[in-house]
Structures are given as structure tokens and as C-alpha cells.
Structure 1
Amino acid sequence: MAREQQTVLNALDVAKTQWYHFTAIVIAGMGFFTDAYDLFCISLVTKLLGRIYYHVDGAPKPGTLPPNVSAAVNGVAFCGTLAGQLFFGWLGDKMGRKRVYGITLILMVVNSLASGLSFGSSAKGVMATLCFFRFWLGFGIGGDYPLSATIMSEYANKKTRGAFIAAVFAMQGFGILAGGIVALIVSAAFDHQFNAPPYSVDAVGSTVPEADYIWRIILMFGAIPAALTYYWRMKMPETARYTALVAKNFKQAAADMSKVLQVEFEAEEEKAAKTTQVGKNSFGLFSKEFLKRHGLHLFGTTSTWFLLDIAFYSSNLFQKDIFSGVGWIPPAETMNAIHEVYKIARAQTLIALCSTVPGYWFTVAFIDIMGRFAIQMMGFFFMTVFMFALAIPYDHWTKRENRFGFVAMYSLTFFFSNFGPNATTFVVPAEIFPARLRSTCHGISAAAGKAGAIVGAFGFLYAAQSTNPTKTDAGYPPGIGIKNSLIMLGCVNFLGMLCTFCVPESKGKSLEELTGENEEDIEETTDQIAASTRTFPV
């Protein structure tokens, strides 16, 4: 027997896929496009920052960022993202999804521009300013996670809900790809423009003054897609599920959904009264009832996201170091600064194009067929296998004739992270928690993920600082080496497999069925509900 649901909520579950669904995917997805661009573009310019601001005259090799500065530049945005996920996740349940949705974009636009305008009278000053603005950039990005996921889950029908939420997150792949393409275009343009006397860009290891423009332009470009999306976000109505189940305004929920889904509803006052009664579903986040019903679920979503992001962000942020370690990117001393940016961007763009982006869209295609649990388990399994396959015979992969095999296998770890837990950890928390706590619980789960990203950003930097633990890099203490780092990441992925058993399968079920928010049984079947609505052609 089905749980009693208001007609408007049942109609959302059985609604045909319409143009508005795709519009919502684009509107929410462009936020994630910007998120990924802003978070990962920093890895494209980290080495350039070292060459510009930490180059010592007369040194035998180009400058590099000190480990603590590199960790701060790469990881500070994640600290802001974690804080933003917790704050905006809570605010989205208190004030509504739409009311705070535009604030996140404003923060992203302002701080993307400000990051590129970072100033200071010394290298430390510039880096401190950059870190300050990237923290607040991350704060805005953090809000996008729970709000976008929750909005998309509450608009979608139950048959294709997983694909819709995954499609929003899949825009992250295009954001990573766009970062590489922008860096390629900017670096190529500057390399061509200044590749003539009196500039000495052809000299190996050189850094021309104009290189300072490159990283600034790349960082500032992230403001453009966020700014273009702001108007359309403000036009979106509040989700019917929030309006009906949290705000208790069924008439408004029906009116909003009539407009966007071309479906005519009549709010049924008698059912509304039943649903608005305070009952055993009024428990709070810190109650025994929540712990009993959803405690294990919250542990599953937080632990898997935490473990996934250790591996995912480590691999993404420091793939330039890994590629340098196996010789795919030449040593910095053999090329000028602008060309080094080009080489790094080309490598990361190739990885994104061949594995990262396809992985996301494989998830979109199969998540409502295979289910969330199967995809997440499969992804963690293959990530574990490929990490160990790279790490154990690492010396074999560093030989020149084998480096492309290393790159190919390394690409597969990205493919299965995205056709796997990197997508499902985003989808599931938006489905399995009650409407009044959905944004908050998604924010908590996502914040756990960003805690993992911080571990990856700061920990992997030191661990993989030297490809040989007996040597030093630029005078800094040696790390444990890339080989041992990859082994550690393989173990992390294996733990992710184990924690996946705490995550429930949500395929094919309505949100209210998953959360038990409506306690009264109803006699109407889905077909009767669908027949009671009138759909207009788009």
C-alpha cells in the first residue's frame, strides 16, 4: 500500500519528462560547471605561481611554491567549501531552496574576479590575498552542492530522478574540461604573442613578466558562467516539496508546479490537513528518532563521500606532479613558464576529455537502470584495482616506453570514479532524507567529502612531494613518494567499498516512500493519480 501523498507530490513522481526538467538541469548544472572550473583551475597555475613569485636569481632551476604555500593555495578553497556546505545546507531547509540559491552565485562571481586581482607588495602578500578570496569563493561553491542536488531531486519524477541529479553533477566534468581548454588558449596566445625579441620566452626555464597575466585571466574566467546563470536561478519557483511539506502551503505548491510542469492541480484541503498535522515524522536532526531511522544512512553517505574525495581530489590536484614523475610532462628547467602551463593544461584536458567527462555521462545513462548501490560499489572496486596496478609496479611505469600505459590506466581511475562514487555520493543524500532535513543532511554529507578533499590536498602534497623518498625537492623535506601514495589511495578506495554497504538503494522509489514522510495510506494507484492530472503539450 502506498503512503498518502498530496496530489501535487504524486503528480511530480509520475510526470513525464518535460522541457522544464532540462532547463532545471542546465540552470543548476551551470553552477557545478563553475564550481569545478574554480576548484580545479588552480592546479593548472600552481607551478606558474612558484616560477613567478618564488624564483631566486641565480638558482639552477625555476622557482617552486614552498610546501606550506602550495598546500594553502590548493586547499583553502576546500575549507571554504566545507563551511559553505554546512551553512547553506542548513539555511536551505530553514529559508527555502530558492531564497538562498542566488547568494551562492553572487559569492562565486565576486570572488572569482577578486582571486584574479589578488595583490600584495611581496610574494607572501599576493598568496595571502589569493587564499583569502579563494576561501570565500569556496564558501559560495559549497552552497551550490546541497541546494542544486535538493532542488533537482524535488523537481524530478521518480523514474528518471537519478539521471537528472547525476546530469547536474556531470556538468562538473565540463567545468574541469573548460579549465584545461581556457588555460590552453590563454597560454598559447601569450606564448605566440611574446615569442619574439626582446622577450626571451624561448630560453629554457625563463619566466617573462607577462606570465603574471596568465594565472589571473584563468582564475577570473570562472566568473562568466556563474554571472550568466544568475537571472535564470532567480526565475525558478520554490520546489513543490519544500512548499508543501515544509512551508505547509499546498495551494502555492500546486500553483508553482502548474506553471513549470504544465500540469493542472487542485489542492485537496482535507489531505492537506492530514499531512500538515504534527506527528511522529516531526523529529529533528539530533533526535533519537532520526538516529534510529537515518543514522546509519547518514554515516554511509558521509563516510563514502569522505573516502572518495581523498582519492579523487588528490588525483585531480596533483596529476601534474604524477605526470612529471613518470616523465609525461618535461622538467620545468627544459621549458619556459608559459609553455609549462600549456603542457600541464594539455595533459589535464586530455584526461578530462577521454575519461572524466565520459565517466559522468555513463552514470547519467545507467544510474536508473543499474541502481546507485551497484554503480558505487563497481566504481570503488575498479578504482582500488587500478590504484594498486599503478602503484605496485610503479618502477615499471616510469620507464619511457611504458609511460603512456601509465597514463591510460591512470585515466581509467578517473573514469570509474565518475562512473561510480563521485556521482552517486552526490545523488543519494538528496533522496533518502526527509524534506525538512534534506538540504542539511546533503550539506553534512558533502562537507564530509570536502574534509576528505582537504586531507587529499594537504596530505598528498607532502606524501608525493618527491618521487624518491631519499631525495629532496627544491630543498624541502622529502615525501614518502608517489608509489606509496598510490598504495594509500588504493586502501582508501577499498574502505569506500566497505562503507557503501551502509547506503540504501533509492532507485525507482518516490522521495516520500524513501523517507516515510506521509504516514497515512491511500487507495489511489499511480495510474489513478496520473489520470487525475491534465498535461498540456510543451
Structure 2
Amino acid sequence: MAIAVLEALDSARTQWYHVTAIVIAGMGFFTDAYDLFCISTVSKLLGRLYYYDPSLGIPGKLPKSVNNAVTGVALVGTLMGQLFFGWLGDKLGRKRVYGVTLVLMVICAICSGLSFGSSAEAVIGTLCFFRFWLGFGIGGDYPLSATIMSEYANKKTRGAFIAAVFAMQGVGIIFAGLVSMTLSFIFLKRYDEVPFNSNALFSTRPEADYLWRIVLMLGALPALLTFYWRMKMPETGRYTALIEGNAKQAAADMGSVLELEIQAEQDKLSHFKAANSYPLLSKEFVQRHGRHLIGTMSTWFLLDIAFYSQNLTQKDIFPVMRLTKKAIEVNALEEVFETSRAMFVVALLGTFPGYWFTVIFIEKLGRFIIQLVGFFMMSVFMLVIGLNYDYLLEKNHAYIFAILYGLTFFFANFGPNSTTFVLPAELFPTRVRATCHAMSAAAGKAGAMVAAFGIQNYTLDGQPPKIRKAMTILAIRKAMIILAVTNLLGFFCTFLVPETKGRSLEEISGEDGGGAGNDTGGSARTSVSRTTGNHGEAV
């Protein structure tokens, strides 16, 4: 059943408004990535500041449980925020909820940097509290940004547009490293002329306490800058028409955006809604979309185990790659500088290009092929690292290690890290699209929590140095092999999801009367009358 406003969206040429939507939604993901990953650059500094014991004669270090809480609590909040705001986005509207998540992110990013307390435990506890709610706001950005972009885009460039929004995550990771590197360099230059005390390598000046706070608070800036434009965006035409049932308003909103005159067709819309009224928890949904939901949830869960294991343990892998020195060889600010610089280099050369390869090739190769190849190549490179870790470490083949490690990031992003975000925004009916995307994303964050609280726990405090080193090497080898197997499972779970490129959202989901998830389908005849040039033509 062809509805004019939906056809107009599917066939509209790419124009400036699409670019604006990508930037507005993408800045949310820039903020998300910055806030989630900047903690890796300063977590060691927190240990030096708040857990230094002069009697031990070694640099302070966060206890394992505290480190897990600091790096992982935002992931817990993100999971819960995804489920809550995804459901709310389907009930109240994408735009209305979109602003709430942004405000929450701004407030909690600032409050994270203002964490207070009279003891180390109090400061860290306050930090974890605000990072949980920061993650809660970040969680809402996942389903809402993906859903909004998918519902605005035309069917020929939809995958590239959604992937471009997600690619801003790579930019956020780069800036997390760049900002921490720049600020730590400024602090180092500022205090170079002041001599350190005898414990210079192990303790740190009180001024360094400012560094981590500024790094965390700066995460509020990009979100704050885009708030006005996010509030100016109209509700998506698909939500207004298919969920609210207001064909006239949907036609007016999208006609203004696309510079077209669009027929309201209220009668057609009423029949459309009546034919697609089954709820999420129903036998019909399970029959039509159950396999797809299992596919999107399982692949995102398995992917994030590997992806977050890579990101959260970077600070411990960098010394192996000769990108950073050992903790006892540098002072606290130098350690932040080196960790941030290494994170910046790996993100710039390994992480960032993969995202944009996906943007370029997703409409040519399709989501299915990119995800399969990405999972497979990640598995291969992680297996090579795991089986040859002793060789790469002991023989000082740092460059080989760095290349292999960087390639795992490249194929994560030119692969499942991007496609697992795109597919849930395309596969499911409009009335449950944000909820199903949220469930898929929450499964991913469950995988990230496995990484944060499980996979990365290979340090063995309390053991003699030689034994600790040997056992840590063994643990890392085992972890890389486990992650290789995890990626291989993701490869096979990919077969649960269909290819979606080149088809309308209603055709993919079966809302147009066809079978959900079919790889073929006819295109309906448009009923849009053009008023300005070629504005209705497809790309």
C-alpha cells in the first residue's frame, strides 16, 4: 500500500537537510564516544592521585574492583538507558525524547569532573555515580539517533547515512586521546620548571587533579553546542504518520523539509495502521521478526565483547607495542600524555579509517558481506596475536604487533561495529523500531560489560614480578584466543539477518504487505507532485 509521504522520503534526492541531520545526530555519537573512552586516558592518573602509598615505593594504582567500576559503570548506565529511552522513543516520539538524553549527558559530564569527597573512596564513588547517569543519557542516543536517521534517509543512501552518524564515534575516540594528550602536555610544560620531590615518579602534584576533571567535563561541550539544532528538527514523518496517525502533519513536515508538495492520504494511512497493529510481545512479531531480533542482538553482543576488550585494555597493551613506557619510568602527567598519544595514534590509523570505509562501501557491498568479512578478519588477526604473543613480545617485534592490533580495529569498524548499528534501524516495524534497536544495542552493552568486568581482568597483583609477568602474558594469550572464537561465533550469527540495501523500510519490515526480511520486492509508484526542479528524484 503506497503512502505518499513514505514514498517521498524513500525517493528524495540527497540534499543539505540530510547532511544537517547527519551532523546533528553524529555530534551525539561524537559526545558518546568521547565520554565513554576518555576515562581510559585518565584512569591510571586516578590511581596515582588517590591510591598512592609512600611506604610501597611504587606508583599508586586503582584496585582491580575500583578500576572495573570506574571504566565499566558507564556501560551499565548505557545499557539501562538504551532500553528505557528506546521504549520511550516509540511511545512519546523520537524528537521529544532526543532532547532529554542530551541534557542528561551535559549535566552528568560536568558533574563527573566535579566529583567531590573527603576521601579517595568518596571521590571515586561520586565519579561512578555521575558516570552511571552519563551512560544512561548516552544509552538513549543509540536507538534514537539510528532511528531518526533511518526514517529521514532515502532508500538508496540510508545505510551510508546511518553509518556516517555512527562514524562520528571514531572521531570522538580520536578527540578523547587528542584532548587528554594536549592538556597533559600543557600541564607538563607548566610545571617543568618546578623540581619534583624524591618521589616524583610515584606521587603527583595536587594540580594534576585538575587534569582528569577538565578532560571529563569537556565532554559536555559538543552536546551543548548541538542542543538548539536538535530541538529544531521536526519529528520524523514515519513516526507522525504511522504511529501518531496524523497524515496531514507528516505531509506538512516532510514537505517543508524536502521542498515537495505531499498528499496527506489519511484513508490509506488508517488502513496501513490497521494492517500493522501487532505488538512487540506477540506471536506474529516472533514469526515475522524473531529471527532477525535474535540475529541483531547476538551479533552486537559478541562484537562488543571483542571491541570493548580492545579499547578498555589499550593502556595495558600499549607498553607491549612500545608506545608507552612502564609506570615506574614516568611521572603521572607523562603517563597520561603517553597513554593518550598512543590511543590517538591507534584510533587515527586503525579505528577511524574503518568507519569511513563502511560509509563508502556499505551501499555497494551491502551490510551482510561487510559484517561477515569484518568478523572473520577480526577472528584471524586476534588468533594470530594470541598464538604468537610470546614471539611478538619477547622478540621485540613491536611494529608487527602494532599492525596486527590496528587491523583488528580496522575490520571491527569496516565490519560489525558499524553494521550492527545500521541493521536494527532498518529491519523492524516503525512502531517498535527504536525499542528493537535498543534491545540490540543493550545486548551489545552486555557484551561490553563482559569485557569490562571479565576479559580485561588479567592483572595479577600480589605476585612476584617475574611470576606476574609470565602469568599476565598467558592470560593475554588466552584472552585473545577467546576473543577470536567470539568473533567466529559472530560470523555465524550474521546468517540470522538479511540484506537490507536498496529497499524501503516498510518493504524490509513487511509493513507494506510483503514478507518481512525478503530480499526482493517491488517498488511502489510514487504519488508525489514535484514543485521545485528535481527535488523528488532519487540519487
- Pairwise TM-score range, normalised by the shorter structure: over 0.9
Cα pair distance change 1:374/1:531, threshold 3 Å: same
Matched, 1:242 2:239: yes
Match of 2:519 in 1: none
Structure 1 residue 427 and structure 2 residue 422: aligned?
yes
Superposed counterparts of 1:253-272, under 5 Å = 253-272=250-269
Change (3 A) 1:26 1:202: farther
Aligned partners of 1:270, 1:533: CA distance in 2, in Å? 22
| Alignment match, 1:228 | 225
AA of the residue aligned to 1:288: K
Divergent runs of 4+, >6 A: none
CA contact (8 A) 1:72 1:131 kept: yes
Q: Once the 2 structures are TM-superposed, how far is the Cα of residue 257 of structure 1 from its aligned partner?
A: 0.5
Relative to structure 1, the CA distance from residue 520 to residue 164 in structure 2 (aligned partners, 3 Å threshold; closer, same or farther) is closer
Aligned ranges for residues 37-436 of structure 1 at < 5 Å? Answer: 37-200=34-197, 203-276=200-273, 278-279=274-275, 281-399=276-394, 401-436=396-431
Q: Which runs of 5+ in 2 are unaligned?
A: 516-521
Q: 1:502 aligns with which of 486, 496, 500?
A: 496
CA RMSD of aligned residues (A): 2.2
Aligned-partner SS, 1:263: coil
One-letter amino acid of the counterpart of residue 211, structure 1 = A
Partner SS, residue 329 of structure 1: coil
Does the Cα contact within 8 Å between 1:324 and 1:330 map onto a contact in 2? yes
* Distance in 1 (alpha carbons) for counterparts of 2:287 and 2:249: 33
- TM-score, length-normalised on structure 1? 0.94
Distance (whole Å) between structure 2 residues aligned to residue 376 and residue 23 of structure 1: 27
* In 1, Cα distance between equivalents of 2:223 and 2:426: 26
Deviation at 1:244, TM superposition (A): 0.7
- The separation in 2 between residues aligned to 1:533 and 1:512, in whole angstroms, is 23
Q: What is the distance in 2 between the residues matched to 1:473 and 1:441?
A: 44
Equivalent position of 1:6 in the other structure: 3
CA displacement, residues 17-76 of structure 1 (integer Å, 9 cap, x when unaligned): 000000000000000000000000000011111111001013231011000000000000
3-state secondary structure, aligned to 1:386: helix
Identity %: 60
Looking at structure 2, the residues matched to 191 and 400 of structure 1 have their Cα atoms a distance apart, in angstroms, of 33
Report the alpha carbon displacement of residue 197 of structure 1 after superposing the two structures with TM. Answer: 2.2
Q: Post-superposition shift, 1:526?
A: 5.5
Structure 1 residues 353 and 326, CA gap change in structure 2 (3 angstroms): closer
What is the TM-score with the length of structure 2 in the denominator? Answer: 0.94
Corresponding residue SS for 1:285 = coil
Distance (whole Å) between structure 1 residues aligned to residue 198 and residue 104 of structure 2 = 37
Does the 8 Å CA contact 1:81/1:142 hold for their aligned counterparts? yes
Alpha-carbon distance in 2 for matches of 1:297, 1:527? 25
State whether residues 289 and 428 of structure 2, in contact with CA within 8 Å, keep that contact through their aligned partners in structure 1. yes
**Alpha-carbon distance in structure 1 between the residues aligned to 2:120 and 2:240:** 50
Distance 1:384 1:493 in 2: 5
Q: 2:438 & 2:464 partners in 1: Cα distance? A: 38
- 1:241-274: CA deviations, max 9, x gaps? 0111111111000000011111211212442343
Residue 64 of structure 1 aligns to a residue whose secondary structure is coil
**One-letter code of the match for 1:222?**
G
Give yes or no for contact 2:303–2:447 (8 Å, CA) kept in 1.
Answer: yes
Match of 2:486 among 484, 492, 495: 492
- Kept in 1, the 8 Å contact 2:2–2:525? The answer is no
TM-superposed deviation, 1:202: 10
1:124 CA drift (Å): 0.7
| 2:465 is aligned with 1:455 | no
Q: Is the 8 A contact 1:397 1:403 kept in 2?
A: yes
SS at match of 2:423: helix
SS of the residue corresponding to residue 55 of structure 2 reads: coil
Provide the C-alpha distance between the structure 2 equivalents of 1:443 and 1:378, rounded to a whole number of angstroms.
25
CA distance in 1, matches of 2:269, 2:449: 45
2:107 is aligned with what amino acid? V
Is residue 120–residue 126 contact of structure 1 (8 Å, CA) maintained in 2? yes
Aligned pair in 2 of structure 1 residues 520, 494: CA closer, same or farther (>3 Å)?
closer
